[in-house]
Amino acid sequence: MRDITGVERCAKYIRLEHLEEDIAPLEGPIGFALKMPVVNVSKRARDYRIYYNESLSEFVGEICENDILRFNYQF
């Protein structure tokens, strides 16, 4: 997350796909565990890639390139 000048403004990230792992470092300083229930689970396929054709996949890969590289995503 960068500001308009390109300066990084976020020191930590919480990724939904790694929620428990990413929240864990916050629990010590705040003094309690953050337990997030799983609700509203989608009935769609877990592999999101089946919903993208080649041109859409390329487009998302381009506009999300920084996030894909930063978080080591596969797309």
Residues 62, 41: Cα–Cα separation, whole Å? 28
- Where are the chain's structural domains? 16-70
| DSSP secondary structure string for all residues of 42-63 | --S-S-GGGG--HHHHHHHHHH
Q: What is the pLDDT of residue 57?
A: 93
pLDDT in tens, 25-55: 988 889 999 888 888 888 888 888 899 999 9
**pLDDT band at residue 62 under the 50/70/90 scheme:** very high
pTM confidence score = 0.65
